[in-house]
Structures are given as structure tokens and as C-alpha cells.
Amino acid sequence: MPKYNYSFTSPDYIEKTIIDSKGVFGTIRIKPSSILWKAKGQHKFHAVDIETFAKWILDKNTGAKKVSS
């Protein structure tokens, strides 16, 4: 295959806007090293590193349940 002069860049993160019946609820951004959350109307994200998130979500006191994806 020939080498191209141009290429696409991959995003460094995945960002999704979460909506409910009233409109935008917030935005979640997932990076290789962290998860960020910004509520509707906020300008800055709250962030937590992946290790901290993994410990929290797996803790039995969070109420998180295993689901099939």
C-alpha cells in the first residue's frame, strides 16, 4: 500500500454529552489516564485518575452492579 501524504489523527479522549428529559445533564470525558465530569452549565471538569476510579467503582459500598454489555 502506498504511503499517504496526509493522515487522520486519533482523538486523545472520548467525550459524550449526557442528556435527560430536560436537556443536557452533563459531559463525561474518558482519557487513557483519567475520567472527567462536567455538569451542565459548568466550565471546568472534575477529574479522577483511572486507578482511583477503578478502586471506587469496584467497592461494594458504591452500589455499582455488574452488567452485561
* pLDDT average, residue stretch 33-58: 97
Confidence of residue 7 (pLDDT cuts 50, 70, 90): confident
Q: How far is CA 11 from the centre of its chain?
A: 13
pTM for the complete prediction?
0.77
29 vs 14: CA distance, rounded Å: 6
Q: In this structure, what C-alpha cell is assigned to residue 58?
A: 469496584
The per-residue pLDDT for 5 is 87
Query: Would the pLDDT of 1 be above 70?
Result: no
Give the chain's mean pLDDT. Answer: 94
